[in-house]
Amino acid sequence: FNELVTAYQQAALALIEGGSDILLIETIFDTLNAKAAIYAVKDLFDQLGFSLPIMISGTITDASGRTLSGQTTEAFWNSIEHAQPISVGLNCALGATELRPYLEELSNCAGTQISAHPNAGLPNAFGEYDQTPEEMADIVGEFAQAGLVNIIGGCCGTSPAHIKAIADKVADTSPRVIPDIPVACRLSGLEPFNIDKNSLFVNVGERCNVTGSARFKRLIIEEDYDTALDVARDQVENGAQVIDINMDEGMLDAKSAMVTFLNLVASEPDISKVPVMVDSSKWEVIEAGLQCIQGKGIVNSISIKEGEETFRRQARLCRNYGAAVVVMAFDEQGQADTEARKIEICQRSYDILVNDIGFPPQDIIFDPNIFAVATGIDEHNNYAVDFINAVQFIRDNLPHAMSSGGVSNVSFSFRGNNPVREAIHAVFLYHAIKAGLTMGIVNAGLLEIVEEIPKELRNKVEDVILNRSSDATEALLSIAENYRAGGTAEKKAEDLAWREWPVNKRLEHALVKGITTYILEDAEAARIEASRPIEVIEGPLMDGMNVVGDLFGDGKMFLPQVVKSARVMKQAVAHLIPF
């Protein structure tokens, strides 16, 4: 990356000294290369004290509609939008006809001018282009008439005659009207991932963290990266929409481990399709991570703890790398542990970022610090309430900014008792999401459904989370052992009681709980009872999915559980389809 930056900077400086009016970064097949070019040009402009307009043009390599490095058109735009180009477009690779659907996609998502410089058709067996100027002008002219483009031209196989024919064809056509694109945090891996005011809670997978997962730490220390990749893959399959990666461990070279793992992730499309959150307390590790990501990721984190000058410098660099930022509620005096301090630091940070350096507010994610509750220390009893109230303040008073937090921190007092911890996470998230929490770092495979938590446990947990009584901690402790993992035989028998229900109710229960163990057996039993297989799909299976939809919409179920339910549905339907 740094070698590319040096090369691009030398080229850009020569072009500027030679009298260039605009810099065009074009024929982009690997977005990471383009991000290096953007970084180089932005840094050069800072050195020179002035800037030139930038144009950016990517290239689609085949009928998949992706760049050679695997990104979709919208993901590509999300990755390079921070360059604030006067135009973005597509050139080379495909002929004009094949380019059209991807231009349309770009035209719909980019709030800037659109350019198109297609080839004169596809090359023949001799590598030559046969499309005539008139044929190409007819195709490209339709782009203009459809309102898809602002700038039009040609690439391989085109001649002055082609350009003249195109110019004549579009001479009386109005350029595309630049659309008003709604404000959103637009992230990307190989696929785009957009978060706006209407988005549901975003699950950030937490297990690729050497400080939070003993298994992942062991795999990284032993350099078993293949199995470590499986940890990331499992999270995506279980519903994580962003992957948090942290290598901060005393026994590791964190920078080297981060670079190695991110480069391996990049070669795994089923993982790299989602955005990456580069998580470290060391700036050099964050920066090294950003230099490996072709998509638009998230930095976790920056803060004012080292003073405003460092905060501003790191924020500007994050912007030049094209990343959103998590901003910790942490200042020169330390971490904010009260509602008032959380609000004060978040407001101060927002003002610096938005008003002083022009950081897009939609790319700011505040972490107001989730601390453990039920510690036995009275001063800690309101920690969850303080966090929830700070989240609501961010939603109501800091336009377009988002909020996040490491959810497992809240239950740290019950380490070793996973059922109670999972109940605490679910209840805490239920209330935090209602207050406006945008995202959370979670174990995507272990989120409990709020409605499925035993009533006694749920009530005691809620008393702790909302600090509803002075003895809430003692009350929860008094029942916690009853729910520790590996309970009694009676508890296990109770878990299977639903197997005695009528088959339709069993199917509905399996969908809501995401249980695949008996789904083929029950789907077959239901098929035999029904007049037609479609009745099973339209009846108990859809009834179960309707319950899932209601729970998800009410914030009592999270995306990972919906993913599990969808797998159950898929297996049942696959069994029924042949009949």
Q: How are beta strands 185-188 and 192-195 bridged, if at all?
A: antiparallel
Buried/exposed code over 33-71 (b: 16+ C-beta within 10 A; e: otherwise): bbbbbbbbbbbbbeeeeeebebbbbbbbbeeebbbebbb
Count Cα neighbours of 174 within 13 Å in the Cβ-side half-sphere. Answer: 4
Phi-psi bin for 90: left (phi > 0), alpha (psi -120 to 50), beta?
beta
Q: Distance between CA atoms of 391 and 380, rounded to whole angstroms?
A: 18
Burial class (CB in 10 A: 0-12, 13-18, 19+), 174: exposed
Q: Would you state the structure tokens that stand for residue 271, as one six-digit string?
A: 């993982």
Q: Apex CA 403: angle with CA 400 and CA 406, to 5°? A: 165
Burial class (CB in 10 A: 0-12, 13-18, 19+), 27: middle
92 in a labelled binding site: yes
Buried/exposed code over 456-490 (b: 16+ C-beta within 10 A; e: otherwise): ebbebbbbbbbbeeeebbebbbeebeebeeeeeee
- Contact, 320 vs 38, CB < 8 A? yes
292 in a labelled binding site: no
Buried/exposed code over 494-511 (b: 16+ C-beta within 10 A; e: otherwise): eeeeeeeeebbebbbbbb
- Secondary structure letter of residue 252 according to DSSP: S
Q: Distance between CA atoms of 169 and 492, rounded to whole angstroms?
A: 75
Q: Would you state the structure tokens that stand for residue 41, as one six-digit string?
A: 């040009």
- Contact, 556 vs 547, CB < 8 A? no
DSSP secondary structure string, 75-125? HHHHHHGGG--SEEEEEEEEEHHHHHHHHHHHHHH-SSEEEEEEESS---T
Q: Which residues define the annotated binding site?
A: 92, 155-156
Q: Which residues define the annotated binding site for Zn(2+)?
A: 92, 155-156
